[in-house]
Chains A and B, each alone.
Chain A
Amino acid sequence: MSKLIEGRAWKFGDDVNTDLIIPGKYKLSITDLDELSKHAMEGIDPEFTVKFRKGDIIVAGKNFGCGSSREQAPLVLKHVGVSAIIAKSFARIFYRNAINLGLPVIECVDAERIEHGDMLRIDLEGGLIKNLEKNEEYRFKPFPEEIWVILFSGGLVSYVKKYGKLPW
C-alpha cells in the first residue's frame, strides 16, 4: 500500500451506519463481491458506485461505520476503489475491520473543513492531509506501530502472506 494517497473528497455526514454502507438484505443474499459492491453506500446515494472514481476519498463526520460488525462494509468500499476514509471519529469495529483489510481510516477533527470534490493529498506516515483546493493542511495522529504494520502490509491476510505468521 502506498504511503501517499491522492484523490477527490466524497463528503458524507455523521453516523453513517453499516446498513447504509451495505444493507443487510444484500449482505445476506449476495456473496459475489463484484455484485455486492454495486450496492455500496446505496442507503445514502443509490448512484454512488456509478459516479465514484477509483482512488477517491470518503470524508465524513462523527461515528462513521457504526452498527453491525459486518466486514462487508469496509470490504465493498475498498472494492469500489475507496483509497482512504477520513472522519471525525469511527465506530470501533469498523475501524478494526478497515485496518485488517488494508483500508486507511484516518481520524481527523478537521474533516468538517473538507468539502465535497476537494482534491486531497494524504501522507499516511507523516500524519498530514493537504487540501489542494483550499491550500490548507490538517494534521492527524500517525498510526501506532501495531496498527501500522498491518495497514502498510495491505491488511492482516497480506501481512500473514508476507511474513508467514500473525503479528503476535
Chain B
Amino acid sequence: MGKTISEKILSRASGKDVYAGDIIIADVDSAMAHDGTALLAIEAFEEMKGSGLFNPNSISLVLDHVAPSSNETFSKVHKRIREFAFNYRANFYEVGSGVCHQIMIETGQVKPGELIVGADSHTCTYGALGAFATGIGSTDMAAVFMSGKLWFKVPGTMEVRIDGSLPKMVTPKDVILKVVGEIGADGATYQAIEFKGSTVKEMSVEGRLTLCNMAVEMGAKTGIIEPDEKTIKYLEDMNVDVDPQGILKSDPDAKYTAKLQFDMSDLEPQVACPHSVDNVKPISKVEGTPINQAFLGSCTNGRIEDLRLAAKILDGRKVKRGVRMIVIPISRRIYLQALKEGLIETFIDAGCVVCNPGCGPCVGAHQGILAPGEVCVSTSNRNFKGRMGCMDAEIYLASPATVAASAIEGEITDPRRLKVDE
C-alpha cells in the first residue's frame, strides 16, 4: 500500500512499516525548547533523575519569548535555562538570536525527511522543508532529552491543493488565512495537512514556511510540503547540506483522509478577526476598522520577503499619528540582511519601532502589550482574547502588506489601495 510523506518519515524513524493510526516509538532527529517551555522540561528531567542528554547536539534551547527579559522572575528562568544548556552541552541560543523556529532552520537542525519535535505548537512550521515536525509539551520534551525517543500516533493526512497565481499584494499569509477560515480551528485535528498544487510549487520557501506555520491553527499535527529544488537551494544558501535520502514524496496510491481544493487566483487580502483564527473575512468586510498598533514579525511573517514587502509600502510614507508600528526581524541573520538592504532605515524613517529578533508582542509578555479597548493588526498567528496581554483588546491577523498599509492609514486598509513603485 502506498504511503504519504508523513508515513514514510515515521516509518523510517520507528524502523517499522507504519500507517495512519499506528502507535509507534520513534527516534527523534532534533528537538527544541524555548524560554516559555524549557523550565518545566528541565524540572521534569530532574524529577525523573535524568543524568544527561541522549544526544546534546540534537537538543536546542532558545531564549526568544521574553527576550531580553522584562522581569526578575523571568530573568531567573533564563538563568536556569542557560546553566542547564551549558552543563549538558546542548545547543544554546542567547537573547537576540531570534525566534526559535527560524534558528532551528538556519542552524541546520531541520532537514528534509527528519522527525523533529519542539516544545512549541508552531514547530509544525518545519514541514515546509519536507520534515515531519510537531509540537509537544514540556514533560514529553524531558523524555526526549533523556531518551531521544517519543511515542507518536501516525496521523492521517489531509491533502490541501492550492492552485492559481496569486494577485498582486496577495501573499502566502492571505492564502493560509483563507484555508484556516474554510477548514476551521479544529477541522484538521490529529491530522497532517499536506499542501500541494501550483500555488505552492510557485511559492518561495519563505512563503511555504508561512503556510505550514499555521497548520496548528486548524488543529493539525503538522503541515508538510514535498521538498523540491527550491527547498534544497534555500537550505544550501544557509550552508545546510541536504541528504538526498531525505527527499521524500507521497506515493500516488497513498491514502488521504480528505482532499480539498482551492483556487486562489481571485483571492483578495484576508483578515482573521477577533477572537479566533478561523474567523476569517475578506478585507473588504473589515476595511476602515481603526487601529492603535501594527505588528510586523513573528514565526509566521518575520522573514526577509515579509520585511521587503512591508518596506516597499512604507517607503516614503509615515505611520499615522496615534498608531505605533512594531517591526521585529525573525532572526539575527534576517536583521542583518534587512540592514544591508536598507529596509531597517525605511522602517525607522516611516516612524516604526524596530525591536531585536524574538517573539515580540505575539505572546503578550512584552514589547507592545495592548491597553483595554485597543486594536492591533498583526502578522502573527493567534488573535485569542488576551493574547497580547490585555483581555479587553482586539487583534486582527493579516499579511505584511495589509499591516503596513493599515499602519499608514490608521485603519485596516487594503494594501492594493496604496500606490507602490515596482
Contacts and interface: CB of A to CB of B under 8 A. Distances in A.
Q: Do A and B interact?
A: yes
Interface of A: 15, 17, 19-20, 23-25, 27-31, 43, 62-63, 66-72, 75, 89, 91-93, 96-97, 100-101, 144, 146, 155-157, 160-161, 166-168
Contacts of A144: 23
Contacts of B364: 19, 23-25, 28
Interface stretch (B37-45, B301-309, B344-352, B398-406): B37-45
B62 interface: no
A62 B73 CA distance: 35
Interface string B55-76: 0000000000110001101101
Please report whether the interface of chain B is mostly helix, strand, loop or mixed according to DSSP. loop
Contacts of B391: 23, 43
B140 A100 contact: yes
A31 B169 CA distance: 43
B385 A19 contact: yes
A156 B384 contact: no
B149 A157 contact: no
Contact of A168 (B151, B276, B387, B389): B151
Closest 6 pairs between A and B when the two form their complex, measured CB to CB: A97-B137, A63-B186, A100-B139, A28-B365, A71-B137, A19-B384
A30 B149 CA distance: 30
A89 B44 contact: no
Contact of B76 (A23, A31, A100, A161): A31
A29 B386 contact: no
A68 B121 contact: yes
Given A31-B76, A63-B189, A93-B135, 17 more contacts: A20-B385, A23-B389, A24-B364, A24-B365, A25-B365, A69-B37, A69-B121, A69-B135, A91-B189, A91-B219, A92-B189, A93-B121, A155-B139, A156-B139, A156-B142, A161-B48, A166-B48
Contacts of B74: 28-29
Interface of B: 23, 25, 36-37, 39-40, 44, 47-49, 65-66, 70-71, 73-74, 76-77, 118-121, 123, 135-140, 142-143, 146-147, 149, 151, 185-186, 189-190, 219, 221, 276, 363-365, 369, 382, 384-387, 389, 391
A12 to B, nearest CB: 14
Contacts, number: 138
Contact of A19 (B70, B190, B386): B386
B398 to A, nearest CB: 19
A37 B140 CA distance: 21
22 contacts: A19-B384, A20-B384, A23-B386, A24-B363, A24-B365, A28-B36, A29-B70, A29-B73, A31-B39, A63-B219, A70-B37, A72-B40, A91-B189, A93-B135, A96-B136, A96-B137, A101-B139, A156-B44, A156-B142, A157-B139, A160-B48, A168-B151
Contacts of B135: 69, 93
A28 B248 CA distance: 39
A91 B186 contact: yes
B343 to A, nearest CB: 29
Contacts of B49: 160
A89 B146 CA distance: 31
A66 to B, nearest CB: 6
User: Of A63, A71, A156, which is in contact with the most chain B CB atoms at under 10 Å from its CB?
Assistant: A71
B47 A157 contact: yes
A23 B190 CA distance: 24
Contact of A69 (B44, B47, B136, B149): B136
Contact of B363 (A28, A63, A166): A28
A48 B147 CA distance: 39
B27 to A, nearest CB: 11
A92 B219 contact: yes
A97 B143 CA distance: 12
Given A19-B387, A72-B40, A157-B48, A67 B382 contact: yes
B48 A93 contact: no
B382 A19 contact: yes
